[in-house]
Amino acid sequence: MLALALAALLSIQTPAEAPKTELLVSAAASLRDALKEVGTAYEKRQPVKLVTNFGSSGDLAKQIDAGAKVDLFLSADELEVDKLAKQGLVDETTRCALLSNQLVVIEPFDPEHPERRGFADPCQAEQLAGPRVLRLSLANTDSVPAGRYAKAWLESKGLWKLLEKRVLPAVDVRAALAAVESGAAQVGIVYRTDAAQSKKVRVVYLVPLAEGPKIHYVAVVPKAAPHAAEARALLAELRSKESAKIFERLGFVLPESPR
Amino acid sequence: MIEIRLELPLTEFALDLSVELGSGCTGLFGPSGSGKTSVLEILAGWRKPRSGRVRVGQDVLFDAGARIELRPEQRSLGYVPQDVLLLPHWSVRENLEAAGELDARVLETFELEPLLARGVRSLSGGERQRVALARALLTRPRLLLLDEPLTGLDRERRRRALALLLSVKERFAVPMIFVSHDATDVQVLCDEVVVLERGRVRAQGAPAAVLAAQPGAGFENVLRGHIASASEGSAALELRPGLRIEVADPGLSSGTAAVFALRGEDVLVARGPLPPISARNRLRARVHSVREDGGEIWIEADCSGVRLGARVTRAALHELELAPGVEVTLLFKATSCRLVAA
Amino acid sequence: MGESGELSVLRVTLEVAFTATVLVAPLAIGMGWLLARVRFPLRSVVETLVALPLVLPPTAIGYLLLRLLGRGGWLSESVLGFDPDLLFTWKAAVLASAVVSFPLATRSARSAFEAVEPRYELMARSLGMTRARVFMRVTLPLARRGLAAALLLAFARALGEFGATVIVAGNIPGRTQTLALAIFEDIQLGREDHALLWVGCSALLAFGVILCSERLLARERSPA
């Protein structure tokens, strides 16, 4: 009986199309919405299918290190790409700076009670360390770029030591966002682009570009890429003017100079 | 000729046999727990003795010294174990076909036609025994091993089963080893008997003599013949042309082959002329042998080719001056004859 | 992007679980029979090895598989001479599920075989059947209900596999994202309603599997 049901289900395969090349793109979690938009448009024009693998850049790099056959790696910082480069796993000629971003401090926002605020407007960075803040949501500060950036900024403001014990680590930046959305943490630090697409958080402090750490999204085609040529084409698309418009709209910062 | 030498420690005692058997029906007699079933299992290859040798005719089935050990599927033995073991997921037909091609003679002998389509679980005890026995024969075995096939059957069924075994013996001429704790059955069916007690052979020989000596057994006269006529509560059993005895009416039709048992204790010996007497059977016979067995005297007399045995006391022996060659009359009641197979 | 997200999760889940079960079936049946019927030296060592994935945390198993199959591992391209291309594909998910459900299936298969009266097998052999024929025509049919239950158990375990899968196959929608992984992702991203949808699906599947299993075992307890 079960066998029949299974056979039926398995036969509901997507109708046979001309087999498209599948590109496996490992991308930092913060690129979720951006990549979806750019990717959907790209798929319409090119005979490729994008299989996206989102996670923290640290985890994604580990997968490549372990032998995952990834076509394109979009990392939220240089450190992860450097690590792979040292192992000789990436094609250095394809390495380029893709985007930049800004850090924001967020707090939970209830659309049904918009007047409730935890922090005054405008807010001082120092208020983050106040007694109200029981838990601070950050992406894992050891392995996730967003977490590393946040910790670097907090250290530069002399706030890290005060907040270290109150940190609620998340597996990637989107998970850090979700922790604030749910109210598990009173405050969190994520990218501006992440906060922008969430309706359940409010930005209380925007870290000025000059004040914050240098955030560099780096793209690279790994050596083990099964479809390197198509990957390079996709990368070119991501650096095109059309894509730049999409990224800008979502809140990303474009790189000052190509690397 | 069957040679069995084996040694195997069991839970309470050790099995230690060394026997040679003929190629007819050999009874393996003894109380429960004496190791009879273990012997059959070793013959079938289901258990391995610690040492020994098993040979059936020219074929060596097991030889510890020569490192010969045939697998059960190579031994060509028809085994009917006590728990019958008809395969439960198969019908009767499938069980039989697993043994070999269906043979008309076997089907007819065992009256299996109506049972073929039935599932094994729906059979009665007697039917299961029949199917198992037929199955054993269908493997065209070189030897049949029967473990207490009559246990658990009621009197009527035992009678018929024993008759069946007798006809199998006659029709198929396969050597048999028949395990039983019933002395009468062994005396009726077997050509020789081996008595087993706590794993060792206590006696071996012709059933009547050997079993007569067993405590609780007793000498049985086995009377084989055909029902000649029946009337008024009694019937005539014809043992030989012209030699008939009267038995209590068993309700069998004329012409049926039947086997009766008559205990030696129930036979009286007389010399000289007889007064009117109630015993319905009075057979003239000539004493063949006189034997003393543990304080008991056994007379064997020949009556027109049929050997009958009677038990007498020492005093009677002397008083009647019974000795080989002496003419006597053997007396026994019609009701002393028990129907055992038909 | 093509097939709808929901449908792809269901498809991947069922494909992975089904394939893992098919892979495990002959191995578990064979090993179950071996452990039930054959006395051999180092038997307890084998028993322990078989039980190991049952006791190890799935993440540990996933990590071991990753080391085995990844760059420089004992089963990597450099050792095998060819590229098995397993990591972060649905095949790795199948492997992870197969490894964790193998000990469960083996245990149940072993019980199923142990429940078959060995005297039936001996009797069949005395009728002239070779050991191979006895296995196919007597042992397997008599054990079939228990074996079916064993496979159902393997299937159920494969359906719910997470820890090993996420490490060795990743959480890639359309390729390796099974129900369990989809739930995890939704929780992480705060998409609670969506997560509940998946939980409902899982419950339905689980219900179906348990129902089948109970019916199989009920018939075994009271044979017609």
Q: Which residues of C are less than 8 Å from B46 in CB distance?
A: 122, 126
Would you call C170 and A63 a contact, using CB atoms and an 8 Å cutoff?
yes
pLDDT of res. A124: 82
Q: Which residues of C are less than 8 Å from A66 in CB distance?
A: 66, 70-71, 87
Counting residues of chain A whose pLDDT is more than 70, the rounded percentage is 91
Cα C39 to chain center, whole Å?
A: 25
Contact B57, B69 (CB under 8 A): no
Minimal Cβ distance to B77: which of C126, C130, C223: C126
Instruction: Indicate which of A26, A32, A33, A69 best probes the interface with C, i.e. most C CBs within 10 Å of its own CB.
Output: A69
Nearest CA in chain C to A41: C1
User: How many residue pairs bridge chain B and chain C with CB atoms within 8 Å of each other?
Assistant: 52
Question: For residue A21, what are the CA distances in angstroms to A39, A46, A47, A49?
Answer: 14, 10, 7, 6
pLDDT of residue A76 exceeding 50, the answer is yes
Q: Per DSSP, what are the bridge partners of residue B226?
A: B238, B257
Contacts with A, C 115-154, CB within 8 Å:
152
Mean pLDDT of the A169-176 span = 92
CB under 8 Å to B214, separation ≥6 — which residues?
B29, B183, B195, B203
Contact B290, B322 (CB under 8 A): yes
Exposure of A142 by Cβ count < 10 A (0-12 exposed, 13-18 middle, 19+ buried)?
exposed
CATH of domain B221-341: 2.40.50.100
Cα C10 to chain center, whole Å?
A: 18
> Would you state the structure tokens that stand for residue B163, as one six-digit string?
């008759």
pLDDT of residue B342 exceeding 90, the answer is no
C44 Cβ under 8 Å from any chain B Cβ: no
> Which of A25, A39, A24 is CA-nearest to residue A247?
A39
Domain ranges of chain B: 2-217, 221-341
Would you call C128 and B100 a contact, using CB atoms and an 8 Å cutoff?
yes
Residue with tokens 């016979």: B285
Alpha carbon distance B243, B259 (integer Å): 15
Give A21-100+216-250's CATH code, choosing from 3.40.50.10800, 3.40.190.10, 1.20.120.530, 1.20.120.420. 3.40.190.10
pLDDT tens per residue across span B186-238: 999 999 999 998 899 999 998 887 887 777 677 788 999 999 888 878 899 99
Question: What is the rounded average pLDDT for all residues in chain A?
Answer: 87
C45 Cβ under 8 Å from any chain B Cβ: no
Q: Which residues of B are less than 8 Å from C223 in CB distance?
A: 88, 121
Q: What are phi and psi of B290, to 5 degrees?
A: -125, 130
Q: Which residues of C are less than 8 Å from A55 in CB distance?
A: 170-171
Minimal Cβ distance to C69: which of A51, A67, A182: A67
pLDDT tens per residue across span B114-156: 999 999 999 988 889 899 999 999 999 999 999 999 887 888 8
pLDDT of residue B20 exceeding 50, the answer is yes
> Which of C123, C117, C113, C121 is CA-nearest to residue B84?
C123
Instruction: Indicate which of B38, B46, B87 best probes the interface with C, i.e. most C CBs within 10 Å of its own CB.
Output: B87
Residue at A220: amino acid letter = V
pLDDT of res. A11: 53
> Which of A109, A137, A97 is CA-nearest to residue A196?
A109
Domains of chain C from N-terminus onward: 5-221 (1.10.3720.10)
> Which CATH architecture is the domain A103-206 placed in?
3-Layer(aba) Sandwich (3.40)
Residues B2-217: name the CATH superfamily. P-loop containing nucleotide triphosphate hydrolases (3.40.50.300)
Query: 3-class SS at A23?
Result: strand
| Dihedral in degrees, nearest 10, Cα atoms B83, B85, B88, B92 | -110
Q: Which residues of C are less than 8 Å from B38 in CB distance?
A: none
Would you call B139 and C142 a contact, using CB atoms and an 8 Å cutoff?
no
pLDDT of residue A259 exceeding 50, the answer is no
pLDDT of res. B153: 82
Query: 3-class SS at B271?
Result: coil
Q: What are phi and psi of A221, to 5 degrees?
A: -100, 115
Biggest CA–CA distance in chain B, Å, is: 70
pLDDT of res. A116: 82
The pTM (predicted TM-score) of the whole model is: 0.81
Minimal Cβ distance to C127: which of B45, B71, B99: B99
DSSP annotation of C1: -
- The yes-or-no answer to whether A21-100+216-250 and A103-206 have a common fold is yes
